[in-house]
Amino acid sequence: MSVAACGGGGSTTAGTSGGGDSTITMGFSQVGAESGWRTANTKSVQDAAKKAGIELKFSDAQQKQENQIKAIRSYIQQKVDIIAFSPVVESGWDTVLKEAQNAKIPVILTDRAVDSKDTSLYKTFLGSDFVEEGKKAGQWLVEEYKDSTDPVNIVELQGTTGSAPANDRKAGFAEVIAAESKFKIVASQTGDFTRAKGKEVMEAFLKAQPDIDVLYAHNDDMGLGAIEAIEGAGKVPGKDIKIITVDAVKDGMQALADGKINYIVECSPLLGPQLMDLAKKVVKGEQVPPRVVTEETTFTQEQAKQVLSTRQY
């Protein structure tokens, strides 16, 4: 059956899937549909699977870890060739990952990390460096206020509690702004990466905090919800309250070009093609790097105006 032992060499394949790439079945457990980023990510994964001839079994966990664990267990039962998933939170995965390992089904983490000590439980982790993203957000702020000695009051909308991007974007930002005592995070709460929650929590911040200078939102969607809250309170987003977000999805970029957001740190959701390449290699028994970091940039208001029309997502 096997299509020549081209390249790679010397690998001991599991034997069942040597008949070419079209036979690969991937079970993919997605976080949910909480944001524009997630929608673009789902589409990227589905399109790339089709293009790569990989049969995709897809499930949406609605931001619940228990649903992801159920989906992974069902993929193990169905004896898929490979499991990929984007873990909603970082902890609590060891048991189910061990089950996959015992069933000899390789696992790839995409987008978000787990905190398992045993890194043999997954083959590779493909996704962004969220600490770096948080640092970039902080660096813009430091630069923006470099000539001011007045206190700068910051409110923070965190992503889903316990998720890698929430933990890391918070940590990277905090590390950079800690260098100057004028920066104060006066309130920080989760908005669960959604627009509705971002709006709700920002409304509460505006009621409780008389003097907010800056909003740092861990994604565009929460920032966009917060803009509605700020406008509802009679303030001008981007001017009365400066806004930094992460992702750079189209709606976020539009708000940036319109002057309502001041700066966006990009986080690319287009992980599908790389994921399928890695999956093929892993199923063939080839070596893959343990960590594949997504390349990304940052956008000012001027830069957003220039690239908006060609933005894919």
Burial 121-140 (b: 16+ CB within 10 A, else e): bbbbbbbbbbbebbbbbbbb
User: Binding of ligand GYE at residue 280 (CB under 6 A)?
Assistant: no
Judged by CB under 6 A, the residue of 28, 37, 122, 313 near ligand GYE is 37
CA 141/CA 217 separation, integer angstroms: 13
User: Binding of ligand GYE at residue 140 (CB under 6 A)?
Assistant: no
User: Binding of ligand GYE at residue 122 (CB under 6 A)?
Assistant: no
CB of 187 to ligand GYE, least distance (A): 21
Alpha helices in 93-129 (DSSP H): 94-102
Binding mask 227-266 for ligand GYE (x = CB under 6 A): -------------------xx-------------------
Judged by CB under 6 A, the residue of 183, 193, 299, 313 near ligand GYE is 193
Residues 50-89 that bind ligand GYE (CB under 6 A): none
Residue 248, C-beta contacts closer than 8 angstroms, at least 6 positions apart = 220, 264, 265, 266, 267, 299, 311
User: Binding of ligand GYE at residue 165 (CB under 6 A)?
Assistant: yes
Of the CA atoms within 13 Å of residue 189, those in its CB half-sphere come to 15
Helix (H, G, I), strand (E, B) or coil at 127: strand
Looking at beta carbons only, is 145 or 263 nearer to ligand GYE? 263
Judged by CB under 6 A, the residue of 83, 215, 243, 267 near ligand GYE is 267
Strand pairing category for 152-158 and 214-217: parallel
Looking at beta carbons only, is 14 or 171 nearer to ligand GYE? 171
Residues that bind ligand GYE (CB under 6 A): 34-35, 37-38, 111-112, 165, 193, 219, 221, 246-247, 267
